[in-house]
Structure 1
Amino acid sequence: MKRIILLFALCSFSLGMAQSNLNDLFAAGLNDAERYTTDWLAPVTEAGVYSISNGWYNSADAKPLGGFEISIIGNITGFKNKGDKKAFTLNTADYENLQFVDGSTSKEVATALGDIEGVRVFVEAEIAPGITSREEFELPSGLSSEDINFVPSGYIQASVGLIKGTEVKARFLPKINTDDVKIGLFGFGVQHDFTKHLPADKLLPVAISAVIGYTNLSGEYDFSDTDIIDGENQRIDTKFSSWNFAAVVSTRLPVINFYGGLGYITGKSDTDVLGTYTVTSGPFQTTYEDPFAISNQVSGVSANIGTKLKLGFFRINADYNIAEFSTFTFGVNFGFR
């Protein structure tokens, strides 16, 4: 189970590590390890930013003063048909030491979302006159190789109505702390209903509002040692942050309502590879301390459409968000207006 932890931990979410240990790449030297890890992680961090950015609203009709709602929200961000995000081209000319065992100079390899398995590489160098050292290992695959084609996220969210059509929101994921993974999430947002300023707003069939939401996720995963890499306190520490700016419209019916929004998502991920990594086999035997950090910027337009069913204080909603990584969101809500 421990080997399927890293990827979802990077995104908060569930647990998922690929077939091979990522820290084997240190056998190829620090620069090659950083280059490969950057390309391998980029798609899953992008999917993670899009996933945590959703679920900020289920109506454009802001709650009145004192109205509140408590929600349990889950997001499923799919990538099954996104072949361009599941693989990248590894050209050995871009690397100092990494070579393919089969003699290729360039080929498609899996990202953290991918399913390409069995790609073996090696590093080789002369360590003394007439003495050559060589080390072989397998590149990591990704989530698709485990028949996982989505990145999930989930949290609890609360909304409270203020005066003049304004509603404030907060979301959090209670701190999860196991032997291998630490995860936490928080966020805040505000929604303003412009139709509340119209004289006959209660007679209008629709509401129109603007929503701004900020989400922050932090996660940490502890690596296990491998036959090639020794060390202490090996871990990946990652932080995601995202902003969602959206214009929302919805119907104002008693029981079933429909809503939709057009938005812009921007965010970033910062991943620190921390700890001591001692290469114990191959030509580049050395020790790295807190070796490198990786940042990834994400931005794009999104649009969604959804529906909400209201039965007294109990409500459920579901919507589909179309973006670079599309997301299905489902919410169970309790509250009073």
Structure 2
Amino acid sequence: MKKIYLLIMIALVSFNAMAQEDVVDFLKAGAHDANVLAKPYLKPFGEMLGKGMNNGWYNSAKPHKLFGFDLTVTASLIQAPSSAATFDIAKYEDNLQEFELKNPNNSISPTVSGDMENLPVLTDKATGLSEITMPNGTGMDFLPIPMVTAGVGLPMGFELKGRFIPEIDIEDAGKVGLWGLGVQKDIKDYIPGVKHIPILNVSALVAYTHFSSEIDIEDGGPDGKLEISAGGLSTRLIVGANLPVVAFYAGMGYGKSNSDFNLLGTYNVGDDIPVVLKDPIKLGYSTSSFDANVGMRIRLGVIALHADYTLGEYSAITAGFGLSFR
């Protein structure tokens, strides 16, 4: 399992590191303006992270039989829409207290998932002598999220699903932890006519995943760190057909996610005059939408391979393998 921990950390640490550097850069604008500017900048990362928590919960519309179980490793690639690559500072300028656009005609700035050459410049309102160049993005409009999920069949057509990674500290990369719990229920027998179709399966799923990470930041003193957490609630109606080797499935339902970024510590951002900021940035994001996915699973004895595609504003491709019995 340690290798899975490493995969999850590697997948997220590149974005975490970029977020760390650029969030600290925003502090030059002061705590209030830094929060105003950092929120749209980090929005794609926050929403991709939250959305990613909802994937990989199932690869069949049929729950396990009593005491049947599976252990599945998946990887989801969450794609941000093209509209999330930039944001218009002019829409937030009225909320800025200390700074304003130096050139109102150059107000389009990249988000963390975008990439631009002609970056907007902000100047302080009081004197016009201090300038801040907006940070560039990573140019990565996707986020890979590995996951390990286990399931066990219970009486009355229920299947209990779970995810758990105890909080671990991987060298200097930071800390990461994850847990999740879900229930899938066979509802085929409650639908007139459907229960008499042998290969057709219908089930309902509700599941929740919580992720947390922490990265130490030297600029923030002994308590300096960037805390990132995310949670995703997923409900699905799943319909599928199970053939001897191949199974097809499709799911549709409501999903909700949230993510939070907290920059903690004490930061001295003044040049000529010291300016000390304590725990300066706290950002929160939330999304909710109806999503749908379609996929296929191939069983080779106890080995199962699967892949599916999730449609939505933040689309995703998920693929994985595992051991499955009954």
The answer on 1:172 being equivalent to 2:173 is: no
Residue 278 (structure 1) shift: 1.0
Which residue number in structure 2 is paired with residue 107 of structure 1? 107
Contact 1:155 1:173 in 2 (8 A): no
d(CA) in 1 for partners of 2:54, 2:271: 43
Segment drifting more, 252-261 vs 36-45: 36-45
SS state of the match for residue 13, structure 1?
helix
Deviation at 1:138, TM superposition (A): 2.9
AA at the equivalent of 1:309: I
Q: What is the Cα deviation at residue 231 of structure 1?
A: 4.5
- Per-residue deviation, 1:13: 2.8
Give the alignment of 1:149-188 within 5 angstroms. Answer: 149-173=141-165, 175-178=167-170, 179-188=172-181
1:3 corresponding residue in structure 2: none
**Across the two proteins, how many residue pairs are aligned to each other?**
313
Answering whether residue 294 of structure 2 is matched by residue 295 of structure 1, we say no
Deviation readout 1:78-113 (Å, 9 max, x if unpaired): 12xx23211110024442222445x33651101111
Cα distance in 2 between the residues matched to 1:125 and 1:166 = 62
- What do the CA deviations read for 1:144-193 (whole angstroms, capped 9, x no partner)? 1xxx3311111211000001110000013454423242111110100001
Residue by residue, what CA displacement relative to the aligned partner does 1:112-149 show, whole Å, maximum 9, x if unpaired?
A: 111124525354476xxxxx6844343222221xxx33
Residue 234 (structure 2) pairs with residue 244 (structure 1):
yes
**Alpha-carbon RMSD:** 2.7
**Residues 247-258 of structure 1 mapped to structure 2, 5 A cutoff:** 247-258=237-248
* Corresponding residue for residue 225 of structure 2: 235
Provide the residue aligned with 1:215 in structure 2. 209
Letter in 2 for 1:108: I
SS, match of residue 164 in structure 1: helix
Relative distance call for 1:58 and 1:43 in structure 2 (3 A) is same
Q: TM-score, normalised by structure 2?
A: 0.87
Match of 2:86 in 1: 87
Instruction: Tell me which moved more, 162-171 or 188-197.
Output: 188-197
1:53-72 to 2 correspondence within 5 Å?
Answer: 53-72=54-73
Look up the match of 2:38: 37
The match for 2:5 is none
Secondary structure of the 1:309 match is strand
Question: Deviations along 1:212-234, whole A, 9 cap, x unmatched?
Answer: 11000001223354xxxx74533
Which residue of 1 is the match for residue 78 of structure 2? 77
Structure 2: how far apart are the matches of 1:282 and 1:245?
54
The verdict on how the C-alpha distance between 1:125 and 1:308 changes in structure 2, with shifts beyond 3 A counting, is closer
Say if 1:70 and 1:159, in contact at 8 Å, map to a contact too: yes
The answer as to 2:317 corresponding to 1:322 is no
Kept in 2, the 8 Å contact 1:14–1:152? The answer is no
> Please, which runs of 5 or more residues in structure 1 have no aligned partner?
1-7, 127-131
Give the match for residue 187 of structure 2. 194
Task: Indicate the SS of the match to 2:28.
Answer: helix
Identity, in percent, stands at 29
- Name the CA distance, whole Å, in 2 between partners of 1:180 and 1:70: 27
| C-alpha contact (below 8 Å) 2:298/2:306 kept by paired residues | yes
Q: Secondary structure at the residue paired with 1:55? A: coil
* 5+ residue gaps, structure 2: 1-7
Find the aligned partners of 1:117 and 1:221 in 2 and give their Cα distance: 29
3-state SS of 1:332 partner: strand
Looking at secondary structure, tell me which structure has more helix per residue. Answer: 2
1:141 maps to 2:142: no
The correspondence for 1:269, drawn from 259, 262, 272, is 259
User: CA shift at 1:50, angstroms?
Assistant: 1.1
- Using structure 1 for the length normalisation, give the TM-score: 0.84
Contact between 2:46 and 2:260, CA under 8 Å: does it hold in 1? no
Alpha-carbon contact 1:70-1:156 (below 8 Å) kept: yes
